[in-house]
Structure 1
Amino acid sequence: MKNALVLLILISCSLTLLNAQDKPNIILIMADDLGYEALEAYGNDFNKTPQIDKMIAKGMKFENTHSMPLCTPSRVQLMTGKYNFRNYLGFGILDPKETTFGHLLKAEGYATCIVGKWQLYGNEVQRKLANGQGGSLPLDAGFDKYRLWQVKDLGSRYKDPLLDSRETGVEFFEGKYGPDLFVDYMEDFMEDQGNKPFFVYYPMVLTHDPFEPVPASNAFASYDPKTRLNHPELFPDMVTHMDHLIGRIIKKVNDLGIAENTLILFIGDNGTDRDVVSTVNGKQLRGNKGYTNDLGTHVPMIAYWPGTIKEGSVNNNLIDFTDFVPTLMDVAGAKNKKSFTDGISFYPQLTGKHNIREVREWVFCHYDPNWGKFTPRTFVHDTKYKLYQNGEIYNLKEDLYEKDALKKNDLNKKEKKIISKFEKVLDEMNLSEGD
């Protein structure tokens, strides 16, 4: 009788634990200024990323993921699930009226945390360019815990960083390395959650310039970040350290025993810095951050979820940054899904239960960053063809740098049908833009 009672108690406890963990944890990692061509898995001949390679071997690699060409446009689109013409105010600013994936997952019972780069509150120059509009703070955007660089204060993001945390405010960490401190905070956050589902958004500061020595470098100890060394030849070291941190995160998830109940997504936010030239399958490719050809928007994407995602999967379908909000809502099992998103959930693709109607046929981009020398452009593309709003047509497979525009009259019947579909998309967006 006593043994039966103990068994019933154990079963009851197990069921309670399962119920408490029925929502998967979510970790979204986004590297800064990292195009697809910078990673070994996408053909880079030099940069070594063993942890990312292990992640791919155990998860799913996406071949056709596209961001916006620049930092803030990508982040606003990613966090809200909307095209930029609907809610973009200006560079460095997230409209405080917007609902983010932080708000949405918090409403689904998730503990929320963000570490890394913020840059969404706006400085004086950015606010002026945005007609005086101010941005958002982490708590306002749905994140209960945070350790961030550039909330209101600037300082270094790498060695001797100036970071802002929910618990302690702004702190200067002499001799420390910012990217390591972000992961330290993330690990503590994950440990503290117990059975509560959590969402961690980690917009990395790596691999953005300035290109500086990393902790594994012999030059790190004596390096003074006030000198603002900016040597592109140090970029591979920064990629290696980024990879090391991803390995730390995966190890922590495994050590906590939550790997099979945790989805980890890794992406880049836009193309690689233009000072960085990569050798890819023997061919040199220059990063094109800020500009709209493939090397400005084509970013890596990897999904890791042991027991759910088929190991070693390769996904050739189109993904864009509006797709993350509906996907995370599906992962969380949200019943009241928001209708405002422009995206298509790729959750069924992660589980292998999708059909053709759930796959994106094209990517739309309205790019008007209101920052620097970048020209506003609006376009639609699939994996082969691209149509700009001004009528320019390119074959992306044969003209990576978009140097030779095609004439619609020279296209065959099938190609004309594709371009006509793109024209319809542009018309339906109802934009009036002088592109």
Structure 2
Amino acid sequence: MLRLIALLGLLSGTLSAAQPNVVVILVDDLGYECVGANGGTSYHTPNLDRMAREGVRFEQCYAQPNCTPTRVQMMTGQSNVRNYVRFGLLEKSQTTFGHLFHEAGYATCITGKWQLGQNDGGPKHFGFDEHCLWAYLDHGKRYANASLVVNDKLQAMEGQYGPDVCQAFAFDFIRRNRSKPFLLYYPMILTHGPYEATPDSKDYGQPSVKNKKGGQQHFADMVAYMDKLVGALAQELTTLGLRENTLILFTGDNGTGRGTTSTLADGSEQNGEKGSTTRGGMHVPLIVSWPGTMKPGTVCTDLVDMTDFLPTICEASGIAPPKTLPLDGRSFLPQVRGEKGSPRDWIYSYWVPLRDSQMANVGARGAVEQAFDHHYKLYSTGKFFELDHDVEEKSPLQVTDLKGDAATAAVKLQTALDQFKDARPAELDEYAKQKKEKKKKGRDKAE
């Protein structure tokens, strides 16, 4: 129904030559500290660094602590409290930016990693005309000798490197649709583990090194290869004469994977904290590039959340989401243009842990709920942290003992949490419960 309403709302308008192409790049398991422009010194990211120098770099962008929740938020513009059911699933009733752009007349494509379930029609059901994906219909190899699904056909690609196949698919899509506006959603396979050699590594094709040092080196190789692919994509758009009219947004889906240690320019180190609601598990890079429209060299400290991507790319493209679709995001396009915009005062997160070790801050609804700003964080359990002095959240403070700015922040953040107390649809929890029981029965029967 929402998609029908969206279509009716869009039919009154027509695509114009001024409508931009949109490329959304979402890298798997890449924390803020991995990009040189953000102060990272451990990895080779010259293309991203140049994009940041010439574009707009955001210092305070936050994802969810792991991949599926982030992807659901990004694609729908809604907090997970409204539509998240379980890991590895995008519930089929949801409206995505794929729907909105497809119904506005854009050519739409997704290439890279899916991991959102098979549903009724998979990516096509969610508005994407074409797809080349890992973790859809099959979870085979993603890197060397990849196994990918190309427009619903599973293909074993002996001798081919999965990220290269996805990149070539993206290039082909762009070339075929260069005369009309297109949306390319590029949730990259890189840089998620297993950490393996890339085609640019000295030991590519050799048995993988399993020790920690070898893994760290291969992660560095994967970051460098990811950067190379992003640079090649930007160059391809330039070669085709499309760069000036293409908005590129680059970000990560959660913090860096555990087991990696990255060094920053000030000499400090950041351990990979994926799967944690600390800053290291949620702080991700965000670089935006749109020549001729952006204010080059801008560094923005405003808070950005994954729900903000849908309204941002819709505003840039002149697409109005249906008013019946509740959106939690707000556009950061004005900041890209060098304007003040409407910065967030806080970010709210509803996250369902995957492991027992992540249950410490779970609240009454079975999820970790938190609200935070630049300096403070409040969990629904009542734990409060001063992030400037306790970024790892080791020393919770009692709200009743707070004074001054901290006390004011606690009131603000509690108000933010309260805004979502009735946002969770009861039918989603019932659906998740039924799925869980069905899965348990299946295990019991197998045993």
What code does the residue aligned with 1:143 have? F
| 1:377 corresponding residue in structure 2 | 368
1:425 to 393, 416, 433: 416
Distance in structure 2 (CA, Å) of the matches to 1:418 and 1:401: 19
| 1:321 corresponding residue in structure 2 | 306
| 2:116 corresponding residue in structure 1 | 120
Cα–Cα, structure 1 residues 148 and 432, in superposed 2: closer, same or farther, change >3 Å? Answer: closer
What code does the residue aligned with 2:165 have? L
RMSD over equivalenced CA pairs, Å: 2.2
Aligned residues of 1:148 and 1:164 also touching (Cα < 8 A): yes
Residue 274 of structure 1: CA displacement?
1.0
Residue 408 of structure 1: CA displacement?
2.7
What code does the residue aligned with 1:200 have? L
Residue 70 of structure 1: CA displacement?
0.7
Residue 241 of structure 1: CA displacement?
0.2
1:252 aligned to 2:248? no
| 1:30 corresponding residue in structure 2 | 26
Residue 328 of structure 1: CA displacement?
1.4
- The farther-off stretch of 326-335 and 73-82 is 326-335
**Structure-1-length-normalised TM-score:** 0.88
Cα–Cα, structure 1 residues 19 and 210, in superposed 2: closer, same or farther, change >3 Å? Answer: closer
Residue 218 of structure 1: CA displacement?
2.2
Distance in structure 1 (CA, Å) of the matches to 2:27 and 2:59: 17
| 2:280 corresponding residue in structure 1 | 295
What code does the residue aligned with 2:126 have? A
Alignment of 1:353-372 (within 5 A): 353-355=339-341, 358-370=342-354
Distance in structure 2 (CA, Å) of the matches to 1:369 and 1:117: 21
- The farther-off stretch of 92-101 and 374-383 is 374-383
Distance in structure 2 (CA, Å) of the matches to 1:29 and 1:174: 26
What code does the residue aligned with 2:99 have? H
Aligned residues of 2:15 and 2:105 also touching (Cα < 8 A): no
1:346 to 309, 332, 340: 332
What code does the residue aligned with 1:139 have? K
Cα–Cα, structure 1 residues 336 and 139, in superposed 2: closer, same or farther, change >3 Å? Answer: closer
Alignment of 1:5-20 (within 5 A): 20=16
Residue 415 of structure 1: CA displacement?
2.1
Residue 20 of structure 1: CA displacement?
4.4
What code does the residue aligned with 1:426 have? L
Aligned residues of 2:54 and 2:289 also touching (Cα < 8 A): yes
Distance in structure 1 (CA, Å) of the matches to 2:374 and 2:25: 24
1:79 aligned to 2:63? no
What code does the residue aligned with 1:392 have? K
Distance in structure 2 (CA, Å) of the matches to 1:374 and 1:135: 32
1:216 aligned to 2:197? no
1:207 aligned to 2:198? no
Alignment of 1:23-422 (within 5 A): 23-121=19-117, 137-166=122-151, 169-223=153-207, 231-280=215-264, 281-335=266-320, 337-338=322-323, 339-355=325-341, 358-370=342-354, 373-375=357-359, 376-422=367-413
Aligned residues of 1:69 and 1:296 also touching (Cα < 8 A): yes
Distance in structure 2 (CA, Å) of the matches to 1:296 and 1:171: 34
Aligned residues of 1:23 and 1:197 also touching (Cα < 8 A): yes
What are the ranges of 5 or more consecutive residues in structure 2 without an aligned counterpart?
1-13, 360-366, 425-447
Distance in structure 2 (CA, Å) of the matches to 1:180 and 1:85: 35
Cα–Cα, structure 1 residues 308 and 351, in superposed 2: closer, same or farther, change >3 Å? Answer: same
Aligned residues of 1:93 and 1:135 also touching (Cα < 8 A): no
Cα–Cα, structure 1 residues 343 and 208, in superposed 2: closer, same or farther, change >3 Å? Answer: same
Residue 222 of structure 1: CA displacement?
3.4
Q: Please give the per-residue CA displacement for 1:93-136, whole angstroms capped at 9, x wherever unaligned.
A: 110110011001111111000000011116xxxxxxxxxxx687
Residue 23 of structure 1: CA displacement?
0.8
Distance in structure 2 (CA, Å) of the matches to 1:368 and 1:272: 19
Residue 422 of structure 1: CA displacement?
0.8
- The farther-off stretch of 241-250 and 369-378 is 369-378
Distance in structure 2 (CA, Å) of the matches to 1:373 and 1:145: 39
Aligned residues of 1:72 and 1:92 also touching (Cα < 8 A): yes
Aligned residues: 400
Cα–Cα, structure 1 residues 328 and 85, in superposed 2: closer, same or farther, change >3 Å? Answer: same
Question: Residue 139 of structure 1: SS of its match in structure 2?
Answer: helix
Identity %: 41
Residue 353 of structure 1: CA displacement?
3.2
Residue 329 of structure 1: CA displacement?
1.1
Question: Residue 301 of structure 1: SS of its match in structure 2?
Answer: strand
Q: Please give the per-residue CA displacement for 1:333-367, whole angstroms capped at 9, x wherever unaligned.
A: 02454441111111111122344xx1111000011
